[in-house]
Chains A and B, each alone.
Chain A
Amino acid sequence: MSEPLLKIENVNRIYEDKETTTQVLHDINLEVRRGEFISIIGSSGCGKTTLLRLIAGLDRPQSGTLFLEGEKITGTSPKRGYVFQQGGLFEWLTVEQNIAAGLKARHIYREKKHRIPEFIEMIGLQGFEKVYPHQISGGMAQRVAIARTLINDPELILLDEPMGALDNFTRADLQDKILEIRKKHNTTMILVTHDIDEALYLSDRIVIMTPRPGCIREVIDVDMYHPRNRNGHDYVHLRKKLLEKFHMASEVKDPEYMI
């Protein structure tokens, strides 16, 4: 077997206050292959964002190591794109300029700016190039955030509940868009979500996390062809199984996480 794209080895993350120490992540181990789509699900506060930030290089673990293509992760890199839950766009830049931001930041704007229209088209925002973020809807804004990450040609895209703030209709739309993008660019993606259905619809594997301290409880393979039929027999069956596991995983019975 070839080397995994991302390798997480015995990662621990502890937050220390004056009085309290909280172990947020405990002995996390995970390998992600190139081209894979991974979803991380788990109840609120179980450390999903913390894990994603460690992969992005926005945060450091107390112990353990993360590798991308065998190279130790020590800080941020455009190779690892990150889509924030919300508020990641620069509100003083137009849609087009936001997409170009990564090119500007890396001083390759001149050579690569001809690609911008392609990405605008990909996210279906033709005609919105010169519009500012506050003038577009939340769903559009997240598409821009994905496009501006993608234009950097990352090895890996990290998505932290990018559809959390969207209505159902827009969410389904964006999910299909993400599948389409993935098919075209063959980018590896790690998605954090609290929506079991979303994880099931999109992923090759689903990582279930449990809280306090945040551990990986189980990794579930989803062997189904795309596009997946949300009412298909296998789908419904797996969904039921997943719900049970998830139910057991989260000691707190919070109706928000039962779809």
Chain B
Amino acid sequence: MKSEKKNGTYFLSVLMTILGFLLAAFLNAAVPQKADVVFKPHEIFGITTDSNTAYRFVLVLLSLYYLILGIVSARSEEKKNKYIHATKFRFVMGLLLFLWDLLGTKLQALPQPFFPGPAGIMEAFVAESDYILENTLYSLRLYICGFFIGVVTGILTGILVGWFPKVRYWLSPIMNVLGVIPAVAWMPFALTIMPNPFSAAVFLIAVSVWGLVATLTATGVQSTPKTQFEAGRVLGGNERYLVFHVAIPHALPQIFTGITTSNGYAFTTLVMAEMMGQPGGLGYYINASKVWSAYYKVFAAIIVMAILFSVITHLIELLQKRVLRWQEGVVK
């Protein structure tokens, strides 16, 4: 009886989740557009479509995604509960899209062109998907290079600072001072010493990551309990062993705190650097669109950024979970 009731709730939950998005799609199809907004058809991936159709396509895709997620989640009690928990939010998201479409596109009740409707934003994707993709890849490349260099140099610095008191003496004050200066402040300097804008931005992103990762790595190394080092020594470990098999593993949780926190800094630096003088990237795209008052493109770029950032954050989380799996279930 009880489980039947539970299953009934779950079924309803999946239905509600999808319903919100389908309602939004239905509205878009059923309500006629105000006469003065016209979406021209464009060709995208070999298909000719207009923004409204593309928007509905995305909504249907979202519903399908949640339907499949619902079916897959049905297998585990934990995932089911998670899904049920998110139902209200997802349903309201669908309703908000519904409202936004109504006010932004259909009735044009929001001030234009500052607040386009969802289909208006789709216009950017439909009309210049190639260009958005090109800029996204530019941002991604910048980000990966800068972040990677920052993390690697940060960890190396942190280990040296944490292990050698002499290095600590000379470097930690510098680290502390540099740590509080926003990386973009180095922009003019970066542009002069680096051969091109790309490497200048890489430099800035790396700087924004380096300080925090180095500081936290050093703290993690230094906070290794004496007993752990002694355990390594009595087992026959030399200094190298103590660094690589005791201090660094012990510092890993803190290193990851550094990485996840500075991930946000790096993204901020990336966008600011791009808005201040890059030949490409999402920040550049925002700036270029603003000049033409193409606010729908600005929103489109922001949406891409949000997706990009959450994907990157998610990947880092996965890596962290994998590397720190020994911490699972530890109550600190």
A positions within 8 Å CB-CB of B: 56-58, 76-78, 80-82, 84, 87-94, 101-102, 104-106, 132, 134-135, 148-149, 152
Q: B245–A78 contact, CB under 8 A? A: no
Q: B236–A84 contact, CB under 8 A? A: no
Q: B326–A76 contact, CB under 8 A? A: no
- The docked-state distance in angstroms from the alpha carbon of A94 to that of B245 is 13
From known contacts A90-B249, A104-B245, infer whether A135 and B230 are also in contact, taking CB-CB under 8 Å. no
Question: Interface code B225-248, partner A: CB below 8 Å = 1, 0 otherwise?
Answer: 101101111111110010001100
Chain A residues near B250 (CB-CB < 8 A): 92
Chain B residues near A77 (CB-CB < 8 A): 236
Task: Output the nearest chain B residue to A75 by Cβ-Cβ distance.
Answer: B233
Task: Output the nearest chain A residue to B238 by Cβ-Cβ distance.
Answer: A105
B252 lies within 8 A of chain A by Cβ = yes
Q: B236–A88 contact, CB under 8 A? A: no
Known A82-B231, A87-B227; further 4 A-B contacts with Cβ < 8 A: A58-B234, A91-B330, A104-B245, A105-B236
Q: Nearest 7 A-B pairs (CB), nearest first?
A: A78-B236, A105-B237, A102-B235, A82-B234, A106-B236, A92-B249, A76-B233
- The docked-state distance in angstroms from the alpha carbon of A135 to that of B235 is 23
| Main SS at interface, chain A | loop
Q: B227–A88 contact, CB under 8 A? A: yes
- The docked-state distance in angstroms from the alpha carbon of A80 to that of B235 is 9
From known contacts A58-B234, A78-B234, infer whether A135 and B246 are also in contact, taking CB-CB under 8 Å. no
Q: B230–A105 contact, CB under 8 A? A: no
Instruction: Supply 22 A–B pairs (Cβ within 8 Å), ascending by A.
Output: A58-B230, A58-B233, A76-B230, A81-B235, A82-B231, A88-B227, A90-B228, A90-B245, A91-B330, A93-B326, A101-B245, A102-B235, A102-B236, A104-B241, A105-B235, A105-B236, A105-B237, A105-B245, A106-B235, A106-B237, A134-B330, A152-B235
Chain A residues near B252 (CB-CB < 8 A): 92
Chain A residues near B233 (CB-CB < 8 A): 58, 76
- The docked-state distance in angstroms from the alpha carbon of A158 to that of B303 is 62
Task: Output the nearest chain B residue to A84 by Cβ-Cβ distance.
Answer: B227
Task: Output the nearest chain B residue to A79 by Cβ-Cβ distance.
Answer: B236
B329 lies within 8 A of chain A by Cβ = yes
- The docked-state distance in angstroms from the alpha carbon of A57 to that of B326 is 31
Q: A87–B225 contact, CB under 8 A? A: yes
Chain B residues near A90 (CB-CB < 8 A): 228, 231, 245-246, 249
Q: A134–B235 contact, CB under 8 A? A: no
Number of A-B contacts (CB under 8 A): 72
Task: Output the nearest chain B residue to A88 by Cβ-Cβ distance.
Answer: B231
- The docked-state distance in angstroms from the alpha carbon of A161 to that of B230 is 16
B positions within 8 Å CB-CB of A: 225, 227-228, 230-238, 241, 245-246, 249-250, 252, 326, 328-330
Instruction: Determine which residue in A88, A90, A105, A134 has the highest number of CB atoms from chain B within 10 A of its CB, and name it.
Output: A105
- The docked-state distance in angstroms from the alpha carbon of A84 to that of B329 is 24
- The docked-state distance in angstroms from the alpha carbon of A224 to that of B146 is 71
Q: A84–B326 contact, CB under 8 A? A: no
- The docked-state distance in angstroms from the alpha carbon of A90 to that of B250 is 9
Chain B residues near A58 (CB-CB < 8 A): 230, 233-234
Q: A80–B234 contact, CB under 8 A? A: yes
Task: Output the nearest chain B residue to A59 by Cβ-Cβ distance.
Answer: B230
- The docked-state distance in angstroms from the alpha carbon of A32 to that of B249 is 37
- The docked-state distance in angstroms from the alpha carbon of A57 to that of B234 is 8
Q: How far is the CB of B320 from chain A (nearest CB, A)?
A: 13
Q: B231–A152 contact, CB under 8 A? A: no
Chain B residues near A132 (CB-CB < 8 A): 326, 328
Q: B230–A82 contact, CB under 8 A? A: yes
- The docked-state distance in angstroms from the alpha carbon of A93 to that of B248 is 13
Q: A148–B326 contact, CB under 8 A? A: no
From known contacts A82-B230, A92-B326, infer whether A101 and B225 are also in contact, taking CB-CB under 8 Å. no
Q: How far is the CB of A177 from chain B (nearest CB, A)?
A: 20
Chain A residues near B246 (CB-CB < 8 A): 90
Q: A91–B234 contact, CB under 8 A? A: no
Q: How far is the CB of A166 from chain B (nearest CB, A)?
A: 18
- The docked-state distance in angstroms from the alpha carbon of A101 to that of B227 is 15
Q: How far is the CB of A2 from chain B (nearest CB, A)?
A: 26
Q: How far is the CB of B240 from chain A (nearest CB, A)?
A: 10
Q: B326–A101 contact, CB under 8 A? A: no
- The docked-state distance in angstroms from the alpha carbon of A134 to that of B331 is 10
- The docked-state distance in angstroms from the alpha carbon of A148 to that of B236 is 11
Task: Output the nearest chain B residue to A58 by Cβ-Cβ distance.
Answer: B230
Q: How far is the CB of B262 from chain A (nearest CB, A)?
A: 22
From known contacts A87-B227, A88-B227, A101-B245, infer whether A148 and B234 are also in contact, taking CB-CB under 8 Å. no
- The docked-state distance in angstroms from the alpha carbon of A90 to that of B248 is 12
Task: Output the nearest chain A residue to B246 by Cβ-Cβ distance.
Answer: A90
From known contacts A91-B326, A134-B329, infer whether A76 and B245 are also in contact, taking CB-CB under 8 Å. no
- The docked-state distance in angstroms from the alpha carbon of A57 to that of B230 is 10
- The docked-state distance in angstroms from the alpha carbon of A222 to that of B228 is 35
- The docked-state distance in angstroms from the alpha carbon of A76 to that of B234 is 5
